[in-house]
Structure 1
Amino acid sequence: MDRYHQGSLAIQERVGVRALAEHVGRSIGPGIRDVAAAFLALQPHLVVGAADGAGRLWASLLTGPPGFVRATGPDRIAVRGGLPDGDPLAGALAADGTRVGTIALDPRTRRRMRLNGTLAVTPGGFAVAAEEVFSNCPKYLQKRQPLELVAEGPGTVRRSAALTPDQGRAVRAADTFFIATTAEAGGTDASHRGGMPGFVEVLSPTELRWPDYPGNAMFLTLGNLALDERAGLLFPDWEGGGLLQLSGRARTEFGADGGRGVRFRVEAVVQSLHPGRLRWSAPEYSPANPALPASPAGPAGPALPGSPHRGSTTR
């Protein structure tokens, strides 16, 4: 089994972790173990990354009662329900053959699991035939406890081509986001990024930058970006239930000191709040989060619509 494509291999070689990556990569396979199946059955969220009909990458969040995602075989999961109207991936998750990357992350336990594969539409939802399944360490995951569902009412969706000032402040205040990337034959992947509030810089309404913290040495995300710059970002408003989704292009920057960062150019923005989203408590920050070199933008910035107040990573 070829665990890595040429993009990931090139990054591993450049950083000098090829042997470690080969060792860690042995955990990647198509099989869903019993412990992974049990973990999935407890989750109220599933992040899904895919390309829309125009080829733009997005990351979206599905929500349901525990059991709405479950393993139905050794290499297959089933998902009940779908995305609300207005989500940029609603159409992609209703089309057979869509390549998807998924990540189930449990803020209660700092555990996460990734599963990538090909989608098939089913009555009342969809299934994913797994091609890659693996778990990740708890680095950079903030701990949270579930509170309540967003109250019933009409959903709201706002679209733009750049961040508004309030959206920019929400990004600066974020301690977590998800990123969807792809590499054509290598499929689509969804991953997590976490850190202290302020770890994502807003350079302008159309440009972001964040550091690439040490992870598990596989470099799946950066490897994908080396071959295909398309990316989709998802910033959840954990306390309010809203979502901020960005689609654009990203590239890795290597510093002379050996540090790495990713620069992202925004091409499309979708901000939404839908009833039924789960609200979570304020975070207990991961002890693995690096301190920021400058005064961070604190968590007091405006939240996404619907938030009553405001107070994670593999590669």
Structure 2
Amino acid sequence: MTESAQTVSQDDTFHRGELIAQQHVGVREKMAGIGPRVIRDYMPDQHRDFFEQLRFLLVGSRDDTGQPWASMLVGEVGFVSSPTERQLQVRAHAHPSDPLNENLHDGAALGLLGIEPHTRRRNRANGIVERVSDAGFLINITESFGNCPKYIQARRPALISLDSTVSVREEIGTVLTPAMAALISRADTFFIATAADENARHVGGRHGTDVSHRGGKPGFVRVDGDHTLTVPDFVGNFFFNTIGNLVTYPRAGLLFVDFSNGDLLYVAVTGKVIWDGPEVESFTGAQRLMQFSVSQARHVRSALPLRWSDAEPSPYLEPLGSWK
């Protein structure tokens, strides 16, 4: 394999929003050297093996209005396989109420996050769907990189059922109900799908959809009324995939999971980045804030055929604060 095939070229590594964020915190020059070495257009064998041992997979997609959504697919070990270093085959179906059902089609740009909470390992792979079939979908990987274990609460999943016909209750609205707000207020984890504005990229640069993990102490997502959420952003890898996307394309999709009963809460939002100020300073450890305005919320009860063990908090959370 040639060097050019092993990594994404430096000019293509980060789009304009990510570069703006890196410039804002003074790491743009540093990341210009790091990014091309660790962001690849193929999956190393370690990542391929990792995806194949997962019981669930996070997927970021966009609907026909451009709204990003975060989803979770579940299966027996082996439901994700890697035919080649540039492909993943996913044999699973989303829950009937999941937005992914409408967004999955040949040519769709998806963001994938593989995460193993009990080991705190996670890897990302973004790409373009080559083919959708009755069994699932095949995706061609255009971007692959690892993420650090920071802020992941250790939990071990157990599969209870894969029967997608089980009747569930669903509630949809344009604001958060008390039950939705309660789920968010006690969450120590959520997933966020964002998208790059295609006009914000370098010529030939990458674009598409990302999905990532956010973790904190229970209550780190502040609920203000029935339609505003505020979240601290802690020190990370300085790629600024999520923050950079929000800078140029503020729509995002949040996914909250109730790990005890399998409830899923999908939240469509418009976000903004609060870079500094008293509100940032009030949360110990916050480098900046993400603030979201809710446009739609979809609460699906007992939708997930997984239950998790009690959480072991991430050691990285210990010095961090909480909302005052």
TM-score, normalization: structure 1? 0.89
Structure number having the greater helix percentage: 2
Q: Which residue of 2 aligns with 1:264?
A: 292
Out of 126, 148, 173, the residue aligned to residue 137 of structure 1 is 148
Q: Which residue of 2 aligns with 1:299?
A: none
Letter in 2 for 1:206: H
C-alpha distance in 2, partners of 1:242/1:236? 6
Q: Does the CA contact (< 8 Å) of 1:84 and 1:274 recur in 2?
A: no
Q: Which residue of 2 aligns with 1:34?
A: 45
The answer to whether 1:291 aligns with 2:320 is: yes
**What per-residue deviation string (whole Å, max 9, x for no partner) do you get for residues 219-257 of structure 1?**
111111111001000011112111111011101001146
TM-score, normalization: structure 2? 0.86
- Deviation (angstroms), 1:147: 3.5
C-alpha distance in 2, partners of 1:159/1:166? 12
When residues 294 and 251 of structure 1 are mapped into structure 2, their CA distance, relative to the original with a 3 A threshold, is: closer
Letter in 2 for 1:261: L
Q: Which residue of 1 aligns with 2:125?
A: 115
- Deviation (angstroms), 1:123: 4.1
C-alpha distance in 2, partners of 1:144/1:68? 20
C-alpha distance in 2, partners of 1:207/1:197? 17
1:288 alignment partner, SS class: helix
- Deviation (angstroms), 1:212: 0.7
1:167 alignment partner, SS class: helix
Out of 124, 129, 137, the residue aligned to residue 135 of structure 2 is 124
Structure 1 stretches of 5 or more lacking a match? Answer: 296-315
Out of 157, 181, 186, the residue aligned to residue 173 of structure 1 is 186
Letter in 2 for 1:117: G
When residues 276 and 259 of structure 1 are mapped into structure 2, their CA distance, relative to the original with a 3 A threshold, is: closer
Letter in 1 for 2:26: G
Q: Does the CA contact (< 8 Å) of 1:21 and 1:216 recur in 2?
A: no
1:193 alignment partner, SS class: strand
Q: How many residue pairs are counted as aligned between the two chains?
A: 294
Structure 2 stretches of 5 or more lacking a match? Answer: 1-8, 199-206
Q: Does the CA contact (< 8 Å) of 1:151 and 1:275 recur in 2?
A: no
When residues 276 and 8 of structure 1 are mapped into structure 2, their CA distance, relative to the original with a 3 A threshold, is: closer
When residues 24 and 157 of structure 1 are mapped into structure 2, their CA distance, relative to the original with a 3 A threshold, is: farther
Out of 57, 61, 71, the residue aligned to residue 60 of structure 1 is 71
Q: Does the CA contact (< 8 Å) of 1:212 and 1:261 recur in 2?
A: yes
Q: Does the CA contact (< 8 Å) of 1:141 and 1:194 recur in 2?
A: yes
C-alpha distance in 1, partners of 2:197/2:82? 26
User: Could you say what the CA RMSD is over the residues aligned between the two structures, in angstroms?
Assistant: 1.7
When residues 70 and 14 of structure 1 are mapped into structure 2, their CA distance, relative to the original with a 3 A threshold, is: same
2:66 alignment partner, SS class: coil
Q: Which residue of 2 aligns with 1:182?
A: 195
- Deviation (angstroms), 1:275: 5.7
Q: Does the CA contact (< 8 Å) of 2:120 and 2:152 recur in 1?
A: yes
Q: Which residue of 1 aligns with 2:6?
A: none
Q: Does the CA contact (< 8 Å) of 1:150 and 1:274 recur in 2?
A: no
Any residues of structure 2 matched to 1:155-166 within 5 Å, and which?
155-166=168-179
Q: Which residue of 1 aligns with 2:247?
A: 226
C-alpha distance in 2, partners of 1:67/1:180? 24
- Deviation (angstroms), 1:37: 1.0
- Deviation (angstroms), 1:274: 4.9
Q: Does the CA contact (< 8 Å) of 1:24 and 1:216 recur in 2?
A: no
- Deviation (angstroms), 1:156: 2.7
Any residues of structure 2 matched to 1:182-221 within 5 Å, and which?
182-185=195-198, 186-221=207-242
C-alpha distance in 1, partners of 2:312/2:32? 33
